[in-house]
Amino acid sequence: MKITHVEAIHLRLPEVREIPDGTQDCLLVAVHTDAGITGLGEVVSCSYVARAVVESPRSAPFRHGLAHIVRGMDPMDTEGIMAAMIAGTAWYGPGGVARHTMSGVDMALWDIQGKVAGQPVRRLLRPDAVDAVPCYASVLWPDRPQGVAASARQFVEAGYRAVKYGWGPMGPDLRLDEELVAAARDALGPRVTLMVDAGRCWDVHGALARVERFAPYDIFWLEEPLHPYDTRGYGELSAASSISIAAGESVTLLEEYEQLLQIGRIHVVQPDLGRVGGITPGQRIAAMAQRTGARPVPHAFGTGVLLAASAQWTAAAAAPLTEYTRAPSPLAQQLVRHSMRFAGGELVLDDTPGLGVELDPDVLERYRVA
């Protein structure tokens, strides 16, 4: 089998709001083959730039996009294709948007391989992978603590067992931060797991002040309290914090994860499969995490393609848990038809081969950027 064409599928809402919500503008990748099988993947980056990384025609050695590099290669050879993409983008890689964009291709290759084998991706990763993955609802903080209760109650009624709030007004004011967390705990009740995503807004001192204030509210993890590359700061914080520290959605290269795990000593590592190069490098990060005792939980705040890849990947992990974005964007909620369903706080996976995703043609047409 050979790859005939790699297609960048860029989608954007007609009106993009000034909020930290990546589901307003998304990039999918379709890998087409001469066998008529197509795989889908997702890139979590700056979509316009990533699209150019897929499509750029060749002008000189190393000056070309991923479509040029992988055309004609065997889609079953994930390792060979990853090596070719890394070598072929050396002039503008290896990290950043070059690596983010490789994720879309790699994810699509796993989708193709599942379809060829007649197996869901999780079984290719691990024959005894689980069929239901606990997930947590993930949203931004409302603007004020008074707005938290209504949103939290909706999640409880819908059957979520874990909820994460993040970004928004959290950061500059210690008292407001505590009020937000207290409002969430109060509305969720004692039995629903609560995570807090700080949105990289503090230094070690500021983060430890929050750890102390948040301690009575039973926080499962505190996410990205520091700048993503403050590895030493993470080391200091992780050693002193009574709340588990989560990080890793922003970095991309394996050596950056090694640093975050070995020096940062974080408790939960959050690779985004749409940024780290896809499922193939994701497997390496999971193995690294095992060596330091960190729990891998994928960051997944995108369309249903990323959600499906993340669910399949974590279903093959030791302690499965995935992020389930409840962002209201139609790109997050309506673009992808899934073979999985949400029930009782879990994503229940079926045996559809590959990632089990299809794009809704109407939603695709409505939001596709020409």
Q: What is the largest CA-CA distance in the chain?
A: 60
Q: 199: alpha, beta or left, given left = phi > 0 and alpha = psi -120 to 50? A: left
Residues 6 or more apart from 153 whose CB is under 8 A from it?
187
In this chain, which stretch among 112-120, 127-135, 189-197, 256-264 interacts with Mg ion, using CB under 5 A? Answer: 189-197
For residue 57, give the DSSP letter.
P
**Residue 204: both structure tokens together:** 């070690």
User: What angle do helix axes 231-240 and 204-214 make, rounded to 10 degrees?
Assistant: 30
Q: Judged by CB, which is closer to Mg ion: 155, or 221?
A: 221
Q: Judged by CB, which is closer to Mg ion: 197, or 346?
A: 197
Q: Is the peptide bond before 94 cis (omega within 30 degrees of 0)?
A: yes
Name the minimum Å distance from CB 72 to Mg ion. 38
**The one among 197, 230, 272, 323 contacting Mg ion by CB under 5 A:** 197
Name the minimum Å distance from CB 336 to Mg ion. 21
Under the criterion CB under 5 A, does residue 21 sit at the interface with Mg ion?
no
Q: Judged by CB, which is closer to Mg ion: 106, or 223?
A: 223
In this chain, which stretch among 11-19, 27-35, 73-81, 197-205 interacts with Mg ion, using CB under 5 A? Answer: 197-205
Q: Judged by CB, which is closer to Mg ion: 223, or 256?
A: 223
Q: Judged by CB, which is closer to Mg ion: 40, or 306?
A: 306
Name the minimum Å distance from CB 163 to Mg ion. 14
Name the minimum Å distance from CB 326 to Mg ion. 14
Q: Judged by CB, which is closer to Mg ion: 21, or 197?
A: 197
Name the minimum Å distance from CB 140 to Mg ion. 10
Closest residue by Cα to residue 166 from 195, 136, 191: 195
- Burial state string for 278-291 with b = 16 or more CB within 10 A and e = fewer than 16: bbbbbbebbebbee
Residue nearest to Mg ion (CB): 197
Q: Which of residues 205-264 bind Mg ion (CB under 5 A)?
A: 223
DSSP, residue by residue, 148-192: HHHHHHHHHHHT-SEEEEESTT-SS-HHHHHHHHHHHHHHH-TTS
**What is the total count of residues that contact Mg ion (CB under 5 A)?**
2
> From CA 10, how far away is CA 292, in angstroms rounded?
38
Question: Which residue type, as a one-letter code, is found at position 318?
Answer: A
Q: Judged by CB, which is closer to Mg ion: 223, or 230?
A: 223
Cα 328 to chain centroid, rounded: 17
In this chain, which stretch among 64-72, 134-142, 190-198, 322-330 interacts with Mg ion, using CB under 5 A? Answer: 190-198
In the chain, which ranges are continuous DSSP H helix?
47-55, 66-70, 78-88, 96-117, 121-125, 148-158, 174-188, 204-214, 231-240, 254-262, 279-292, 304-315, 330-333, 361-367
Name the minimum Å distance from CB 223 to Mg ion. 5
Q: Judged by CB, which is closer to Mg ion: 197, or 256?
A: 197
Q: Which residues bind Mg ion (CB under 5 A)?
A: 197, 223
